[in-house]
């Protein structure tokens, strides 16, 4: 089989996201090839605990993203509290402190929309559990550029509002449980 046609994965989560992300991240094999960028809605005073916690559970390098950092394979980047995380055209990470989007900073929409403009049809966008509609506009943008869009099945989400909002855009390609998402991602990198 040919190498995966996808290059980067973006994931958005809110309420219940820590548990959902743990299931996905801990299930990825050491051979996993793609970078993953994550926005998890956090308290503005959050201290980077999440990256440290996931790094202990994962075969991959998990870290809080840094300004101007190049996006590299086998890495998972987590948006720091109180900053929007964006992907620049030169495939580096940048931050803004622009207004909150859907009451959130970092915002899932901001990450998804900037990544879609860089990676076009080579991007996978995933919406997990959460209690607002952040990510729905981003899913629409990823789909408009030909990327693959996935929502956690609402009945398996701790809080179904966010995946439901994404699904209601009619721009979601796959509705999957956390195990199915983890298996799908693992299989994409094992096609080489």
From 4, 14, 59, 182, the catalytic residue = 14
From 41, 58, 114, 182, the catalytic residue = 41
- Residue 95 bridge partners (DSSP): 85
The length of the chain in residues reads 192
User: Is 109 an active-site residue?
Assistant: no
From 84, 107, 114, 134, the catalytic residue = 134
Q: State the residue for tokens 């080489």.
A: 192
User: Is 179 an active-site residue?
Assistant: no
Side-chain-side CA neighbours of 21 within 13 Å: the count stands at 28
Collect all residues with Cβ–Cβ distance below 8 Å to 43 and sequence separation of at least 6. 81
User: Is 134 an active-site residue?
Assistant: yes
> Strands (DSSP E) along 14-147, which ranges?
36-40, 61-64, 75-78, 84-87, 93-96, 123-127
Active site residues: 14, 41, 134
């Amino acid at each position: 089989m040919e190498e995966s046609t996808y290059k980067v994965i973006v994931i958005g989560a809110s309420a219940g996201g820590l548990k959902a992300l743990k299931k996905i991240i801990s299930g990825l094999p050491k051979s996993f090839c793609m970078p993953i960028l994550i926005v998890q809605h956090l308290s503005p005073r959050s201290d980077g605990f999440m990256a440290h916690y996931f790094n202990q559970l994962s075969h991959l390098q998990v870290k809080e993203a840094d300004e101007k950092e190049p996006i590299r394979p086998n890495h998972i980047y987590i948006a720091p509290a109180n900053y929007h995380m964006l992907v620049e055209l030169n495939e580096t990470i940048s931050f803004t402190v622009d207004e909150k989007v859907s009451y959130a900073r970092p915002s899932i929409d901001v990450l998804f929309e900037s990544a879609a403009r860089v990676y076009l049809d080579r991007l996978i966008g995933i919406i997990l559990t959460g209690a607002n509609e952040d990510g729905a506009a981003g899913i629409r943008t990823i789909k408009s550029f030909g990327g693959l869009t996935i929502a956690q099945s609402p009945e398996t989400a701790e809080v179904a509002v966010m995946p439901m909002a994404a699904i209601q855009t009619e721009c979601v390609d796959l509705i999957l449980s956390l195990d199915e998402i983890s298996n799908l991602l693992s299989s994409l990198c094992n096609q080489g």
